[in-house]
Amino acid sequence: VTRTEAYRKAIAAAAPGKVVLDVGTGALALLAIFAAEAGARHVYALEGQPSAAAAARAAVASANLDHRITVLEAFSTDLALELPERAELLVHELIGEVAGEEGACAAILDAMRRHVADAARPPLSVPSRASTLLAPCLAPDPDLLAKAAGAGRALKLDARSQAGRPLAHPQVCEDLRFDEGSPSPSQRRELLFCCEAAGVLAALNLHVELRCGADAADGPPDVSSAWNGSHWRIICIRLERPASVARGQRVKVRVDAALAGQLPSYTFLAALVSDDGTLTSLGAPLEYPGGSLNVNDAMDQMSFTW
């Protein structure tokens, strides 16, 4: 199932009869059109970029839905924005290749306070949940690194051809629950891995899982950037001090996510764990994405030589 198909199915189930708010509709107004076609009572589609808002209006008119969809040129967080009526369902595609890096947490919390009706009841959002998972990995194939976006210690890699082999099963390091409209804006995870193979631990790979169904937050993912054919890429955090590990070696990774503002940030810190619990650092913490929502710009500012 593609991401588009998963969204269409989830919106078709959740939108009928409701006032829907599409946060960041984009030039195609795709989710807004899905909601109107599914029988939403009305859809308000927000787009802050003037050219994209104009294109969205044209897309809505072309679909003969301009009586059911109102495109507003605004960001959902604009303090002056007041909708003609409050929404009962949010739809959005504010998910980055690290789930919260595009500001979804702050946008949804703000929308819940100012744009969603007090009487609205869960499920309140499509998608219902987005998670980032992390795994300790071998180094990416050096012959393919030239094709990767970015530079320095953080890279964007094609899931199949570039990412290094994982040394342990991935664990959740960021979890955004949109189904009840209250994703946590400050998250800390301390993950403990046990290596399932020997090798040189050189990277932490991140991928995203998305659950679209409004009432399916606790079900299996609809979309994963780790699956073949995904348009999302893997984020590879290269360790400052790679280390040879044996099978059974424990690895501890602490991840802090600060998601309350418009510029989300993450900190990753990794260490080996000895039998007596002593920690051996694998390098300085990595701040990601360096204070910029444009991840490629942030990565280009980092200097690191493997």
Q: What string of DSSP letters covers 283-305?
A: SS-EEESSS-S-HHHHHHT----
Q: Residue 61 corresponds to which tokens in the numbers above?
A: 């008119």
Q: What is the dihedral of CA 89, 92, 97, 102, to 10 degrees?
A: -100
Q: For position 118, what pLDDT does the model report? A: 95
Closest CA to 112 of 35, 178, 32, 36: 178
Angle (nearest 5°) at CA 118 between 221 and 103: 45
CA distance 4 to 173: 25
φ, ψ dihedrals at 205, nearest 5°: -100, 135
CA distance 234 to 38: 33
Tell me which DSSP letter residue 164 carries: P
Q: What is the dihedral of CA 289, 178, 80, 22, to 10 degrees?
A: 100
Q: Are 132 and 184 in contact (CB under 8 A)?
A: no
User: Given CA atoms 11, 207, 179, 193 in this order, what sign does their dihedral have?
Assistant: positive
SS3 state of residue 146: helix
Q: Residue 257 corresponds to which tokens in the numbers above?
A: 């996510």
Helix count (H) and strand count (E) of the chain? 5, 16
- Residue bearing tokens 């094609």: 158
Q: For position 158, what pLDDT does the model report? A: 74
The pTM of this model reads: 0.90
**Beta strand spans in the chain (E):** 19-23, 42-46, 69-72, 89-92, 125-126, 129-137, 154-157, 171-177, 186-194, 199-211, 223-224, 234-245, 250-258, 265-273, 279-281, 286-288
Q: For position 131, what pLDDT does the model report? A: 98
Chain centroid, CA 171 distance in Å: 15
**Residue ranges for the chain with pLDDT beneath 50:** 291-306
Other C-beta atoms closer than 10 Å to the C-beta of 229 total 7
Q: For position 295, what pLDDT does the model report? A: 39
